[in-house]
Chains A and B, each alone.
Chain A
Amino acid sequence: MADLLAIQDLEVRLFDRSGVVLAVRDVSLTIGEGEVVALVGESGCGKSVTALAVLRLLPTDARISGSVNFAGRDLLKLPLKDLRAVRGRDIAMVFQEPMTSLNPSFTIGNQIGEVLRLHRGLRGKAARDRAAELLSLVRIGAPEERLRSFPHQLSGGMRQRAMIAMALACDPKLLILDEPTTALDVTTQAQILDIVRDLQKRLGMSILLITHDLGVVADLADRVAVMYAGNKVEDAEVHRLFAAPRHPYTAGLLRALPSRGRRAGDAQQRLVEIPGLVPVLREPLHACAFAPRCPRNTDRCAKEPPELSPCEEGHTVACFHPEPLAAAGPAR
């Protein structure tokens, strides 16, 4: 499978009132054609920043280094004019908050039409038809009428679908979904995931899915990259990751989930906590960032940073003491 997107040694420094934050440190990630890759981690791990870096949507004072190769070109080095042609057309993004991502003063039809006009030169009836077609693609009923609706007239789930429709307007090769269902109710979430899964199969686009929800990952992803404190700590095919997570952080996350069948009453079924907090790194760290919270840490972990290395076919992990295969696995 050819690589559609190849992020190589990405490093992002952001600035807040207290100084520099090493939001993303040395992250490399590839997404193949038609592949769904999930970037997973808790808040502050750098997953959203990575996604925003791909389209250069970070604040102007952010310092980015590394390369983001898309269809043979390095997006980080592209002149703005060329980047704009990529944004919305070849790579589209859907954000977390459907409330604030849509312009409240314009109708849905108008906003989808804007994308079509910009990238495809469609106007008038042709644009309207295509927009209605997109809305029905995301299973919005009575699409021609819906085009005339304003965002506030739509429910949260519908707004998110409209956002997806907008993103698909120009048949992007890569769709970036940033926490697409976090702000939605469970039943709505299921619908959106169903739609995304279906669309991905039909249209064959690649997806970069940013989420903290392991359930969403299990539903959609082909491959999973786990991030911690700006680093990628594990990268594996989805079934492998859930069945046999090798990085202690990944294992910890899975054990911390109250999943079906676990009861507070049963002693062995206690949720496993990961004590401590995700660190905010301001200086380069010559150690493993997870070590202070890791039950498997040794002296070595505090002295050198572990590199990503393959532990099995198609499965890399950055750890000196990965979880053993036998004992690993989510408590069922």
Chain B
Amino acid sequence: MSIATMPGTEPTVVLAQPSRQGWWRRFRRRPPAVIGLAGVVIVVLVAVFAPFLAHYSPIVSQFGHVLEGPFSPGHILGTDELGRDELSRLIYGSQATLEVGVLATLLAMAVAIPIGIAAGYYRGAMDMIAMRITDVVLAFPFLLIAVGLAAIFGPSLQNVILALGIAQLPGSVRIARAEAMALREQDFVQAAIVTGVKDRVILFRHLFPNMLSPLLVQASVSIPAAILGSALLSYLGLGVQPPTPSWGNMLASAQTYLYNDPWIAIFPGVAIFLTTLSFNLLGDGLRDLFDPSMR
């Protein structure tokens, strides 16, 4: 049989391993990323199972055991100035910390992504409006927003989340917008336009799924930023109010005892550090994972 008469068929040759299945293996190959993931998982589990993990109440004072150091009987991390078990407070504190970090970021992204996508896809007036909004937000120092909200509506966890969410808006808008702008020029999006696919469908089916990776990476980096921000706000007295523990307000109340009993500051500080580091490592790992050049 001569080639000339063979119909123009192409054998179905599977070229590369479907990248879908390969991701866990690739992820596993990077120790820092795996450590980061482990750290994040641990913190999340601690927060979720706090009541089962903590032996003591985080808010009930026990004046008989004030400021006992680490490794004291019954209190492996010691007690704070009101006799409360440090470890238990640390465990319960993770809840407030994570709640703020995750919710603030989710809020920011939920608002920012649609704005960013619309700005990047439609350009023109939409883009200008979106950019001016972010400029306005950027013009206000984040602390000012937080303090202002607290002053008007009273200090609370919700206000901290709101303030942090607002502060994160510009970053997420920029990323969503940049991705939308780049994707819009890709041939497959142009093909969808030529085909007559409705805009709405293009945004949901073509743009958003192809943006997930950078957005996920952004989230894994925003969450620790929000955590640090919330720690700062707690420290200033905004946010979760005592006696409910958050790592930030634990730091704040530890101030006066820093010289003699530093551990009540060190432990929450280390907790913040490790959590933030875990998220950052995870974020790096995710970014490398999604980077096609590293596949």
Contact = CB atoms under 8 A, between A and B. Distances in A.
Interface stretch (A139-147, A183-191, A205-213, A272-280): A272-280
Interface in B7-21: 8-11, 13, 17
B65 to A, nearest CB: 57
B2 interface: yes
A276 B2 contact: no
Interface string B1-44: 11110101111010001000000000000000000000000000
A274 B4 CA distance: 9
A277 B295 contact: no
Given A17-B295, A295-B3, A273 B13 contact: no
B9 A275 contact: yes
Contacts of A295: 1-3
Contacts of B13: 276-277
Interface string A286-327: 000000000100000000000000000000000000000000
Contacts of A87: none
Interface string A261-277: 00000000010111111
Contacts of B3: 252, 255, 272-275, 295
Contacts of B295: 17
A277 B10 CA distance: 9
Interface of A: 17-18, 252, 255, 270, 272-277, 295
Nearest to B295: A17
Contacts of B10: 275-276
Interface of B: 1-4, 6, 8-11, 13, 17, 295
A272 B11 contact: no
Given A17-B295, A277-B13, A270 B4 contact: yes
Nearest to A293: B3
A270 B1 CA distance: 16
Nearest to B26: A17
24 contacts: A17-B295, A18-B17, A252-B3, A255-B3, A255-B4, A270-B4, A272-B3, A272-B4, A273-B3, A273-B6, A273-B8, A274-B3, A275-B3, A275-B6, A275-B9, A275-B10, A275-B11, A276-B10, A276-B11, A276-B13, A277-B13, A295-B1, A295-B2, A295-B3
* Most chain B C-beta atoms within 10 Å of own C-beta, residue among A252, A255, A273: A273
A270 B4 CA distance: 7
Contacts of A18: 17
A274 B2 CA distance: 11
A99 B9 CA distance: 37
B3 to A, nearest CB: 5
A100 to B, nearest CB: 16
Nearest to A252: B3
* Shortest 6 CB-CB contacts between residues of A and residues of B: A295-B3, A272-B4, A272-B3, A277-B13, A295-B2, A276-B11
A248 to B, nearest CB: 9
A133 B17 CA distance: 53
A272 B7 CA distance: 10
Nearest to B8: A273
B12 to A, nearest CB: 11
Contacts of A17: 295
A18 to B, nearest CB: 8
Nearest to A277: B13
Contacts of A272: 3-4
Nearest to B10: A275
A99 to B, nearest CB: 19
Contacts of A252: 3
Given A255-B4, A273-B6, 5 more contacts: A255-B3, A273-B8, A275-B3, A275-B10, A276-B10
Contacts of B8: 273
Nearest to B1: A295
B28 to A, nearest CB: 14
Contacts of A275: 3, 6, 9-11
Contacts of B9: 275
B201 to A, nearest CB: 34
A100 B4 CA distance: 41
A18 B16 CA distance: 9
B124 to A, nearest CB: 30
A270 B17 CA distance: 35
Contacts of A277: 13
